[in-house]
Structure 1
C-alpha cells in the first residue's frame, strides 16, 4: 500500500489546483453581489488563476529540471496554501484577483512536476495504473469543482472554497516530503528568465484582448492593440528561445508531429470541455434560480463518467494508438457539446445538461491520461519538466482562452435573442445576463414591465448557452479530426505506460527520423525508470 503514497501526494496537489480552476464558477453570482464586481472583473476572477497557471507552468517545468522536481512541487504546495488563505480573506475584487494570480504561481509549480514525479516513482504496469488514476483525478477535478463550490458557498460562504485548500495542502506537503522520490536536478545552468517573462506577458495580452472584446466588441482599438502585442511578443518569445543557450522551451520539440498533436489536443480539450461550464452555471443560478449546490450537481454525471473512464483506461488502453485514444476523446467532447446545444432550448432546465455532460465525461476520461503518458514518452528524461510544462500550459491556456472567447459568444447569442424581441439596449442587457446580474436588472424595472423583461432574459440566457456549446462542439470535433490526422496509423506508435521500451509514439512523417540528433530522435526517447 505504501507504494501508492507518492501517487496520493501528487493526486492531492492535482485535485486542488484543478478544482480551483472551476470551483469559483458557482460562486460568481455571490461574488458579484458581495464585491460589487463588473462583468470584466467576474471573468478575471476565473482567468487570473487560469492565466497565471498557463503562463508560468512552462517556466516552472524548466526550473524544476534544474533544481529538482520534488523541491519544486513542495514549494508550489506552500505557495498555493498561502495564496488560498489570501483569497479567502480578500476584501475586494482587486485583492481577490491578485491572490488568484498568486495561486496560479503555486499551482504551476505543482502541475509542471506531476508527470516527472510519477515517472520517477513507478515503472511498468504500475506506471500505467498511476497515469490512469492521475488521469481520473485530473479529468474529474474540474467537474467536481462546481459541486464542491456549491456546497461550500451555500452551506457556509464563498470564502470557504479557498479556506478548504489549507488542510488538503498540509496533507499533501507532509506526504510528499516523506514519500516522493528525491531524484537529482536533471540539468544545470541558469533559468531562462527572459523566456518566462515574455511568454507570460504574451499570454496575458492575448487573454486581455479576448475579455475586452466581450465587453467592447471587436471593433475596439484596444482589443486589436492587445492582440497585436500578443502576436509580436510570441514572435519575440520564439527568437529568445532560439538564441538562448538553455531555453525554457526547446523549439526543436515542434519538429515532432506527435508532440505538436499532444499540445493541440491539450489546448482544445479544456477549451471545449470545461470553458462552457462557467456560462451554464450563470444560466442555472441567475436565470433559473438554482442554488449553488443544485447548479454544481448538474456537473456530477460528467465528473463521475470522466473518473471511471480514466481509471479504467490507464491499463486497458495500453498498446492502443494514441491518435485513436486522444482523437476519439476529443470527438466525444465535441459530440457531447453538440448534444447539449440541441437540448438547451425554450423552457429547458438543468436536465438538458446531463446527457451531453456524460458524453463529454467519456471524452475527458479517454484523452486526459493519454496526453501525459504520450508527452513524457516523446522526450528524454532530462526534459520531463519541460514536456509536462508545455502540455499543461496548453491545457490551461485552452481554459483561459475559452472563458474569454466564450464570453463574447455568450453575449452575442444573448444579444441576438434580445434584438429579435425588440428589447431596448440589447447589448447592455446581454452583458448583464452574461455577468449573472439578472436579479439586479429586473429590480430596476417597474413592476408592469418586469415579467416581460424576465421572459426576455430567460430566452437570452438560453441563446447564450446554446451558442457557447455550439462553438465548443465545433472546436471539439475539429480538434478530434486534426489529432486523428496528425497521429494517424503509422505516425504515432502506441499509448505507453504499462510496457517497456518499445511502446512509444514514433515520428512517422512529422518528427525526426531515427538517427537524427534532434529532441524527437529515437536516441533521445524515454525508457522506463525503476522506482
Structure 2
C-alpha cells in the first residue's frame, strides 16, 4: 500500500464516488467472508477429519494453506491494485475466492481441500489488499472515512465473534461442506455489484511491484510451516525437515538483504527501526500465534474429547468471541486518549492471563474450566484488534501509513500460520507420549499402541476407544481424555509464556517510544 492508496482519489479526481455506501458495504461483505473463513473452521475440523480421513497435518493445512498466501501476497496485492485498478483487483479476488470456496465444498480428499484453501487465500489477499484503498477513495473526507474504517474494524471483530457459532450451526445442520458453499451465492452477488456499481481507482504514483521479494517471502513462509507441520512425523533431524528450515532461513535472509538494497522493496525495513512499530508488530504476531492459533485445537478438544456437537462447541467459544466483540469498540474509543503502552500492553497482558487460566485444565475438566480464561483473553483480543491498525498508522509519517498497516496485518497472518504449525507439533508430541504412558498397563500389542498414539496425537480424543475390546475400553477412554487434555494444557501454557515474554518486550518498546515523543 502507498499513501495514495488511502488519501487520494485516482487520476487527480477531487470528488468522492457517488455511492460511497456501496463501496463500504462491498468491502465489509468481503472482509466478513474472508475473516469468517479463518475462524469458522475451528469447530468443523473434527467432521472434516472424519469425512476425509484426515490426520493432524492435514487439519493444520486446512488453516495454514489459507493464511500463508494471505500473509505472503497481501502487500503485493495492494500494490497491484494501486497500479492496475482497485476495483479490477477486488473483482478478481472475489471471483477467485468464490471459485475456491466452491471447490473446497466439493473436495473429496484432504489434498484437494487444502489446495483449494490456498486458492481461497490468494483471493483473500487480493480482497484484503484493496479494502482500505477502496475506502480511502470512497471517503475523501477524513471524518467520514474514520466512521467507515470503524465499520470495517467492527466487521472484522464481528466475523471473529460469530465464526465458531455459525460454523457449528452449519456443520450440525448441513455438513462441513456448507461452511465453504455458503460463500458462493454471496460472492456472486458481491462480484456483480462491484463490477456494476464500484468506481475504478488507481494510485497517482504506484509503487513498483516487487515480484522477487514476494517469491522469497512465500518460499520462506511455506518452508517454515512445512517443516513445523511435518517435523513430528518425519523426524526433526531428518534431511527433509532440516532442509526445509535451512531453505526458510536462506530465503528470509536473501529477502531482508534485498529489501535493504532495493529502492522500492516489498517491505520497508526502515519501519523496524522504530520501537513503537516493532512493539505493535510483535503484539499482533504473538496474539495471533498464541490465542488465535490455539483455538483450532480447542475446537477439536470440545468435539472429539468432551463430546459436544459442533454447534455446542461454538456456543462454548462465546466467552472468548463475545467479549472480544464487546471490547473492541470500547477500546477503540479509548485508543485516541490512552497511550498505546497501556492499550496494546494491556491487551497482551490480558491474553497472557487468559491463557494461564485456561491452561489449568486436566482430565477431569469440563469446558467451564476454560471459560474464565476465555473471558480475559477475549477482552485482550478485542482490545488489540481495535487499536493495532490505528496505532500502526500513528507510529509512522503519512507517506508510510499504508505500508505500516499492511505489514502489521501480514505479521498477524504469519503469526496464525506459524502458531498453528508449531502448536500442532507440540500437541502431537505431548499427547502421543502421554497416551503411551497411560495405556502401558494394558500391555497392548506394539502395532495397536502405535495406532492409538497416532490417533490421539491427531486430535481424535475419546473416539479412539470406540472399537477397542470391551475389557480395556474404559481405560482407553480415560487415557485418551487425559492425554488430550494434557496436550491442550501444554500448548496453552506455552502460549502464555510466549505472550508473557512478549508483554514485557512490547511494553518496553512502547514506553521507550512514548518517552521519546516531544512533550506538549
TM-score (norm 2): 0.87
Paired position in structure 2 for 1:86: 103
Aligned pair in 2 of structure 1 residues 330, 139: CA closer, same or farther (>3 Å)?
farther
Paired position in structure 2 for 1:273: 291
Paired position in structure 2 for 1:311: 329
8 Å Cα contact 1:136-1:306 kept in structure 2 = no
TM-score (norm 1): 0.86
Paired position in structure 2 for 1:139: 157
Paired position in structure 2 for 1:518: none
Does residue 432 in structure 1 map to residue 474 in structure 2? Answer: no
8 Å Cα contact 2:104-2:113 kept in structure 1 = yes
- Which structure dedicates a bigger proportion of its chain to helix? 2
- The alpha carbon displacement at 1:358 in A equals 1.6
**Hey, what's the Cα distance between the residues in 2 that align with 1:307 and 1:181?**
32
- The alpha carbon displacement at 1:236 in A equals 1.0
Does residue 358 in structure 1 map to residue 358 in structure 2? Answer: no
**Hey, what's the Cα distance between the residues in 1 that align with 2:91 and 2:345?**
34
Paired position in structure 1 for 2:223: 205
SS in 2 for 1:488: helix
SS in 2 for 1:166: helix
Does residue 263 in structure 1 map to residue 288 in structure 2? Answer: no
Aligned pair in 2 of structure 1 residues 400, 359: CA closer, same or farther (>3 Å)?
same
SS in 2 for 1:112: helix
Decide which of 346, 350, 359 is 2:363's aligned counterpart: 346
- Could you tell which deviates more after superposition, 123-132 or 95-104? 123-132
- The alpha carbon displacement at 1:3 in A equals 5.7
Aligned pair in 2 of structure 1 residues 428, 292: CA closer, same or farther (>3 Å)?
same
Does residue 407 in structure 1 map to residue 430 in structure 2? Answer: no
Aligned pair in 2 of structure 1 residues 187, 377: CA closer, same or farther (>3 Å)?
farther
- The correspondence of residues 496-507 of structure 1 with structure 2, limited to 5 A, is none
Does residue 465 in structure 1 map to residue 482 in structure 2? Answer: no
**Hey, what's the Cα distance between the residues in 2 that align with 1:340 and 1:445?**
31
Does residue 162 in structure 1 map to residue 180 in structure 2? Answer: yes
Decide which of 238, 245, 264 is 1:227's aligned counterpart: 245
- The alpha carbon displacement at 1:4 in A equals 5.0
Paired position in structure 2 for 1:30: 47
- Which string of whole-angstrom CA distances, capped at 9 and with x for unpartnered residues, describes residues 444-496 of structure 1? 4222111111110000111011111111212222222222111116x149xxx
Paired position in structure 2 for 1:487: 510
SS in 2 for 1:289: coil
- Could you tell which deviates more after superposition, 133-142 or 263-272? 133-142
Higher relative contact order (Cα pairs below 8 Å, separated by 6+ residues): 1
- The alpha carbon displacement at 1:143 in A equals 4.2
8 Å Cα contact 1:190-1:246 kept in structure 2 = yes
SS in 1 for 2:44: helix
**RMSD, aligned CA:** 2.6
- The alpha carbon displacement at 1:328 in A equals 1.1
- Could you tell which deviates more after superposition, 77-86 or 130-139? 130-139
SS in 2 for 1:345: coil
8 Å Cα contact 2:39-2:160 kept in structure 1 = yes
| Unaligned segments of structure 2, at least 5 residues | 1-18
